[in-house]
């Protein structure tokens, strides 16, 4: 794939991550189309981004001109036909078959001049790309939550990813004022492989009645972590965190150190997914 200046960015999925990524791109003056099939999710994303912008304006982190341009730079759409861009970033559910189906629709719509990036936390890039007609155009661009604050972004090359696609992805990450790090297409990449044990061991301590979750959070925060594991799971989404743990458990051939927690599974089954459902390990009513 030849080098091409990225001017427009499409985001598929207007949940917490998709909305945040759209905001970051708009701040860097990219034209953004934020797509979701659910109009209610789109409306929620628009309200969330407006709240973030208002807070940034009030605290003088941006000026009125940047505020206005951010509002103008994002189009919210529930029509996949409008998802046309130089770079498309997928931020939907962590299910490989659903991601592959979406990407093929986008490839048919956009063609070979577009870069197709997945924000997956755990699914191998090569596995997603293998089911598509343009595997060389597929790359991982993995943001962290909350996207408008967290600086690190992992760029992951699949087995067939064109090197120019990787280079352009790194340049894009730098253009939105983030820190790009190249990661191998290995289970969990870098951050989630290491961070998984932060969650799993904390949950194991809770399962074994070593301590309650509030105390574990307090100890980790007093040790220098900005957020304890249970507060962080609530922020990310208990369901999302559990899904990534399940995926990594399988990809590491069911190594015991990555075993998902029964407590976390119970939270997911009860619909206690964290902040987004007003309740997870903590109550947010």
In the chain, the domains with their CATH numbers are: 8-183 (3.40.50.720), 191-277 (1.10.1040.50)
Q: What pLDDT sits at residue 113?
A: 95
Report the C-alpha dihedral over residues 45, 51, 53, 59, rounded to 10 degrees.
-160
The residues of the chain scoring below 50 in pLDDT are none
Q: What is the pLDDT of residues 175-202, one digit of tens each?
A: 999 999 999 999 889 999 999 999 999 9
Task: Choose, from 94, 154, 241, 243, the residue flagged as catalytic.
Answer: 154
What is the rounded distance in angstroms from the CA atom of residue 55 to the CA atom of residue 111? 39
Measuring CA to CA, which residue among 250, 254, 243, 259 is closest to residue 197?
259
Question: Could you confirm whether 121 is annotated as catalytic?
Answer: yes
Contact status, residue 139 vs residue 146, Cβ threshold 8 Å: no
In this predicted model, what pLDDT tens digit does every residue of 232-244 receive, in sequence order?
Answer: 999 989 998 999 8
240-272 core/surface letters (b: 16 or more CB in 10 A; e: else)? bbbbbbbbbbebbeeeeebebbeebeebbeeeb
Beta bridge partners of 11: 34, 89
In this structure, which long-range contacts are made by residues 191-195, counting pairs with CB atoms below 8 Å and at least 24 apart in sequence? 191/142, 191/144, 191/152, 191/154, 192/121, 192/122, 192/244, 192/248, 193/248
**pLDDT for residue 1:** 66
In angstroms, the CA 252 to CA 193 distance is: 10
Exactly one of 121, 137, 243, 247 is catalytic; name it: 121
Angle at alpha carbon of residue 123, lines to 121 and 127, rounded to 5°: 150
Q: Is 246 a catalytic residue?
A: no
DSSP strand pairing (138-142 vs 115-118): parallel
For the question of residue 273 being annotated catalytic, the response is no
**Residue ranges of the alpha helices (H) in the chain?**
16-27, 39-58, 64-73, 96-110, 125-130, 163-175, 191-207, 213-222, 229-236, 238-251, 262-269
Which of 49, 110, 142, 261 is an active site residue? 142
So what's the pLDDT on residue 129? 97
Query: Out of 192, 241, 243, 261, which one is annotated catalytic?
Result: 192
């Amino acid at each position: 794939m030849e080098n091409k200046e990225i001017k427009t960015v499409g985001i598929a999925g207007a949940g917490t991550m998709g909305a945040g990524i759209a905001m970051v791109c708009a701040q860097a003056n990219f034209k953004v189309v934020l797509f979701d099939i659910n109009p209610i999710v789109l409306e929620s994303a628009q309200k969330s981004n407006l709240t973030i912008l208002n807070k940034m304006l009030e605290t003088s982190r941006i000026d009125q001109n940047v505020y206005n341009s951010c509002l103008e730079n994002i189009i919210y759409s529930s029509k996949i036909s409008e998802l046309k861009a130089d770079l498309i970033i997928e931020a939907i559910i962590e299910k490989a078959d659903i991601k592959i189906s979406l990407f093929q629709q986008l490839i048919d719509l956009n063609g070979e001049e577009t870069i197709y990036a997945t924000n997956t936390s755990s699914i191998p890039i090569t596995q997603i790309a293998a089911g598509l007609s343009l595997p060389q155009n597929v790359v991982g661009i993995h943001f962290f939550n909350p996207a408008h604050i967290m600086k690190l972004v992992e760029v992951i090359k699949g087995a067939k990813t064109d090197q120019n696609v990787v280079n352009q992805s790194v340049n894009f990450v730098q253009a939105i004022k983030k820190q790009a790090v190249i990661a191998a297409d290995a289970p969990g990449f870098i951050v989630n492989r290491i961070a998984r044990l932060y969650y799993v061991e904390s949950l194991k301590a809770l399962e074994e009645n070593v301590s309650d979750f509030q105390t574990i959070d307090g100890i980790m925060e007093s040790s220098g972590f900005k957020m304890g594991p249970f507060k962080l799971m609530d922020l990310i989404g208990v369901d999302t965190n559990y899904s990534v743990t399940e995926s990594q458990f399988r990809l590491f051939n069911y190594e015991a150190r990555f075993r998902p927690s029964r407590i976390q599974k119970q939270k997911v089954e009860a619909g206690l997914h964290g902040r987004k459902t007003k309740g997870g390990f903590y109550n947010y009513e």
